[in-house]
Amino acid sequence: MTAPDSTKSAPHVRGISVIVPAWNEESFLPRSLGSLRHSALRLADLGSPVNCELVVADNGSTDATAGLARAYGARVVTMPERGVARARNAGAQAADGDLLVFTDADYRVPLGFLPGLAARFGEDAGLTAAGVRVVLEPAEIDPITRLCAHGALRLLTKVKHMSFGVLAVRAGWFTSVGGYPQDLYAYEDVALLERLRVDVRAGRARWSQLDDITVHASPRGFHRGGMFSTYALMAVSRSARKDLTRCGYWYERP
């Protein structure tokens, strides 16, 4: 099955805001924003009435992140206080769309990414949030590590319904729950999905895993030391998620 490649009308989606949190991402933004721009142009070429905007939430960058984002047509929102949850929420607060699409700055999306999301949410008024299939860039990691990583990603997606850096969510629901928990420096995405599961079980929301939409993630996390030990710590310790000094895996990268 392939992602929907046309959406002539999307009655339950008026606008999509793609929100990219970024801290010193000048090396990855051209690939990421370039792919998002192409996907947005594809959406327009298909005659969709859905408006699309790119919002980059600059989380205190000291490199050319902000300038590059503007060069690719993105609106830049500045959030100097460190924290990816804060950056994502700042981008959401500035967004105009009724469908928020969060994606990390080192991700590359296919042409059908935004058309596919517009079609799914446009056709289904009851769909609250959705994840997509995430795979690693094949040319940037060895085959064995890539195979093991994909197995782990598939398992966690099935068991924990994790979104791995990409989440499409109705702006109304996102606002109603207060967005990402800003007291967390890590695992904020998992915490938001746990909140979503509460509403799903209560019949107030619905989640879908869209495995026919695939995005590519940089494997840079696999090239830094301490990946598995850090994730294990975050999984068992909420206090660690609130301590910036213990989240250096994400906040102290070169």
pLDDT at 138: 78
Question: Are the CB atoms for 173 and 128 separated by under 8 Å?
Answer: yes
Q: Which domains does the chain have, with CATH numbers?
A: 15-220 (3.90.550.10)
Other C-beta atoms within 10 Å of 24: how many? 17
Asked whether the CA dihedral 178, 208, 164, 96 is positive or negative, the reply is: negative
d(CA 108, CA 35) in angstroms, rounded, equals: 6
Stretch (H or E) spanning 42 = helix 29-45
pLDDT at 61: 97
pLDDT by residue (tens digit) across 166-178?
A: 999 999 999 999 9
Residue type, 71: A
pTM of the model: 0.91
Question: How high does pLDDT run on average in the chain?
Answer: 89
- Dihedral, CA of residue 51, residue 118, residue 213 and residue 176, to nearest 10: 90
Q: How much is the average pLDDT of 234-243?
A: 92
Q: Is the pLDDT of residue 154 over 80?
A: no
Structure tokens at 97: 């769309």
Q: Is the pLDDT of residue 249 over 90?
A: no
Strands 129-136 and 166-170: antiparallel
Q: Is the pLDDT of residue 160 over 50?
A: yes
* Closest listed residue to residue 99, CA positions, set 58, 52, 55: 52
d(CA 223, CA 220) in angstroms, rounded, equals: 5
SS3 162: coil
Question: Dmax over Cα atoms in the chain, in whole Å?
Answer: 49
Q: pLDDT > 70: what percent of the chain? A: 85
Q: Cα angle vertex 74, ends 219, 168, to 5°?
A: 60
Dihedral-angle region of residue 34 (phi above 0 means left; psi in -120 to 50 means alpha; beta otherwise):
alpha
pLDDT by residue (tens digit) across 30-57?
A: 999 999 999 999 999 999 999 999 999 9
Residue 76: DSSP 8-state: E
